[in-house]
Amino acid sequence: MTTALIADDEPLLAASLAARLKALWPALDIVAVAANGVEAVAALNAHRPDLAFLDIRMPGLTGLQVAQAARDTRVVFVTAYDEYALSAFEHAAIDYLLKPVDDVRLAQCVSRLQRQTQAPPDLQAALAALNPAPAASSLAWLTVGLGDTTRLVALDEVLYFEASNKYTNVVTATERHLIRTPLKDLLPQLDPQRFAQVHRAVIVNLGAVARIHRDLLGRQQVHLKQCADVLPLSRGFAGRFRQM
């Protein structure tokens, strides 16, 4: 059975699209309806649907940002974008629906999806045309797990990252999480204007730094605004903080 996710911050439009899809495609299993971008990414991670109908303008994360997490999911954008943007979608063989969604156009979309059996198209190429961003700053959130629960942690909430063997501790003002990505693999994905390595085992959010303190032995330490933790600042990484 083909599974699908619908994400739209307008509940009536989401419910209408779900009902019309079921009428056109009775075998389609709509596994989740998300009200915003964050819920949509969580649903993608939890259900791994075959299809995702994504509104482009949603609170939290846009449909374009959500689509970056849709690695094995065919995406249909629900959009009011102009013809230039739509042509980019078509070039990558990604379908789209213009609001308000026309019945005939929706039926054409369903027919196309039912016929399409090949692997998902090059979504990243289309996204690059619409939402270009440096690769080093592409990471906007982290997916963390606790038991059967999947959560999203925005990068803005992270105070610092700390290496822990092959894993990494993610520390916010109120929580600590352990992720499987090693610190050395995480660093290239972070925006260098927002995050800096202060020790071989520590990366800090620059916006969370309150002050740099030097103790009696000449060792430098990073003090944070929202956390009592004190982080070591190695000499090799101290240059960036001389103005603080």
Least confident of 67-71, 111-115, 151-155: 67-71
Same domain, 7 and 124: yes
Q: Quick: pLDDT tens for 93-119.
A: 478 888 888 888 899 999 989 887 554
172 and 98 in a single domain? The answer is no
pLDDT category at 183 given cuts 50, 70, 90 is very high
82 and 179 inside one domain: no
Domain boundary residue among 106, 130, 154?
130
The b-or-e profile of 195-215 (16+ CB within 10 A means b, else e) is bbbbbebbbbbeebbeebeee
DSSP bridge partners of 7: 34, 54
Domain boundary among 130, 162, 183: 130
Q: What's the pLDDT tens digit per position in 12-50? A: 999 999 999 999 999 999 999 999 998 999 999 899 999
| End residue of a domain, out of 130, 157, 178 | 130
pLDDT score of 120 more than 60: no
Query: Do 112 and 166 fall within a single domain?
Result: no
Task: Determine contact, residues 168/181, Cβ cutoff 8 Å.
Answer: yes
Q: Residue 180 sits in which domain range? A: 137-241
Counting the structural domains of the chain, the total is: 2
Residues 141 and 62 in one domain: no
DSSP string, 215-242: -TTS-EEEEESS---EEEE-GGGGGGGT
- Residues 60 and 121 reside in one and the same domain: yes
Q: What is the pTM of this model?
A: 0.52
Cα separation, 178 vs 180, in Å, equals: 7
Average model confidence (pLDDT) across the chain: 83
Please indicate, yes or no, whether residues 122 and 9 belong to a single structural domain of this protein. Answer: yes
Q: What pLDDT score does 125 carry? A: 56
Contact 15, 41 (CB under 8 A): no
Q: Are residues 50 and 19 in the same domain?
A: yes
pLDDT of residue 117: 55
Same domain, 213 and 98: no
* Same domain, yes or no: 111 and 53: yes
Q: What is the pLDDT of residue 100?
A: 86
Amino acid at 77: F
Report the C-alpha gap between 9 and 55 in whole angstroms. 8
Decide if pLDDT at 92 tops 90.
no
Q: Given pLDDT bands bounded at 50, 70 and 90, which one contains residue 168? A: very high
160 and 232, same domain (yes or no): yes
What is the per-residue pLDDT across 189-238, written as a single tens digit (0 to 9) for each? 888 888 999 999 999 999 999 988 888 878 899 999 999 999 999 988 88
* CATH code at position 192: 2.40.50.1020
